Amino acid sequence: MIFQRRKLKASTPNPYHQRQWRQFKNNKRGYYSLWLFSILFVITGMAELVANDKPLFVYFNNEVYLPFLITYPETAFGGEFETEADYRDEYVSSLIEAKGWMLWPLIPYQYDTIHYKLNVPAPSPPTAENWLGTDDQGRDVLARVIYGFRISILFGLILTIISSLVGVFIGAIQGFYGGRLDLFLQRFLEIWNSLPVLFMLIILSNFVNPSFWWLLGIMLLFSWTSLVDVVRAEFLRGRNLEYVRAARALGASDRLLMFRHILPNAMVSTVTFMPFLLNGAITTLTSLDFLGFGLPAGSPSLGELLAQGKANLHAPWLGFSAFFSLAILLSLLIFIGEAVRDAFDPRLLKR
């Protein structure tokens, strides 16, 4: 599918795509949301450079060290242990400062760095040092939000892309060939869709120790069905269109008919659906984390932060941080989704 589309694009500039892009831009809110989202995506994508408990750059003894990339033992800086240097430790930092200097990232904490020298008991309120305060284990909330944001987006994107590919493929086959195949797959889908997904996820995540990929796989089991119906309906309609019939009369193979002639039309409803799938995936991950069945303990996750906020109502910065980062992320995606829908809306197409 992707191969076919790329081939088409390469041959001529497609005014359809240009027009869609124009229409997308016409939706100002969606357009700016896309920019904002891209900026956030890039920043959180480089989370290790933004929030890290290791310096980005160390100049020591006329030599250059890149601690955020490479692990150096403490002995490298004249310390005593063979283990990795703890740059936040006063002893190590004084060793380095004596013969050089360190460049710290903007936020000198990892998502799991515990701040031991808090003046107040954790969770501590926002200060100049911890912009969003710390959580109940003394970890910097901003660092956790940045890493959590990244994990949510990546999880959502991967899940959406894979489940779309599977869904489009199954839906296409079902709609195009119809008949008995369609009948059986449709009954199977009905049964599969009636499984209580959240409970299944909770039960399954009790069997395995849920890592990122495990969770992705488990959720994929249930999320691929969401696009099947839409794509199936489009293909059922599409296979009887006159230009599809015309292509068949030319001798086009089934694969060509499906992917060159029908799919572009089915893509409209599919692509329109995708931002909402993405949102759904992020929300599901968050709710699993909130309930404690999600990512392994200690992972930066917005759901876990929400749960902390609920457990520590006296520390409102926890709940607020989690709430606002989720609200902003989900709203941006919805706005982008609306603009995408506009871009594909044939009623807005002008001559």
How many angstroms separate the most distant Cα atoms in the chain? 81
Binding segment (CB under 8 A) for another protein, from list 7-15, 129-137, 285-293, 317-325:
7-15
Residue count at the site for another protein (CB under 8 A)?
26
Give the x-and-dash track for 294-313 against another protein (CB under 8 A).
--------------------
Q: Please give the Cα distance from 232 to 267 (Å, whole number).
A: 11
Q: Pick between residue 218 and residue 266 the one whose CB is nearest to another protein.
A: 266
Q: Tell me how far, at minimum, the Cβ of 5 lies from another protein, in Å.
A: 10
Closest approach, Cβ 248 to another protein, in A, equals: 6
Where does this chain touch another protein (CB under 8 A) — which range of 9-17, 53-61, 199-207, 304-312?
A: 9-17
We find the least distance from the C-beta atom of residue 12 to another protein, in angstroms, to be: 5
11-40 residues in contact with another protein (CB under 8 A) are: 11-12, 14-16
Residues 6+ apart with CB under 8 A from 11: none
Total Cβ atoms within 10 A of residue 256: 14
Q: Closer to another protein by CB, 120 or 183: give it.
A: 183
Q: C-beta of 172: minimal distance to another protein in Å?
A: 16
Footprint on residues 231-290 left by another protein (CB under 8 A): 241-253, 256, 260-261, 264-265
Q: Is 8 in the site for another protein (CB under 8 A)?
A: yes
- Give the list of residues 6+ apart from residue 23 with CB closer than 8 angstroms, or none: 342, 343, 345, 348, 349
**6 is an interface residue for another protein by CB under 8 A:** no
Measured at the alpha carbon of residue 70, what is the angle toward residues 65 and 76, in degrees to the nearest 5? 55
Angle at which helix 15-26 crosses helix 28-45, to 10 degrees, equals: 90
| Radius of gyration over every alpha carbon of the chain, rounded to an integer in angstroms | 25
Helix-, strand-, coil-residue percentages of the chain, each rounded to 5:
65, 5, 25
Q: What are phi and psi of 52, to 5 degrees?
A: -155, 145
Restricting to residues 137-156, which ones interact with another protein according to CB under 8 A?
Answer: none
Nearest residue (CB) to another protein, 244 versus 339: 244
3-state DSSP assignment of residue 132 = coil
Beta strands of the chain (E only): which ranges?
57-60, 63-65, 100-103
Instruction: Work out how close the CB of 261 gets to another protein at its nearest, in angstroms, rounded to a whole number.
Output: 6
Instruction: Enumerate residues 6+ apart whose C-beta is below 8 A from 269.
Output: 230, 231, 234
* Of 268 and 307, CB closest to another protein: 268
Q: Which is nearer to another protein, 103 or 183 (CB)?
A: 183
Told to check if 350 binds another protein by CB under 8 A, we report: yes
- Nearer CB in complex with another protein: 121/251: 251
CB closer to another protein out of 144 and 261: 261
Shortest CB 27 distance to another protein, Å: 14
Nearer to another protein, 18 or 83 (CB): 18
Please give the angle made by the CA atoms of 32, 37 and 40, to the nearest 5 degrees. 130
Query: Does 43 sit near another protein (CB under 8 A)?
Result: no
**Considering only CA atoms, which of 246, 245, 262 is closest in space to residue 173?**
262
Which residues here bind another protein, judged by CB under 8 A? 8, 11-12, 14-16, 241-253, 256, 260-261, 264-265, 350-351
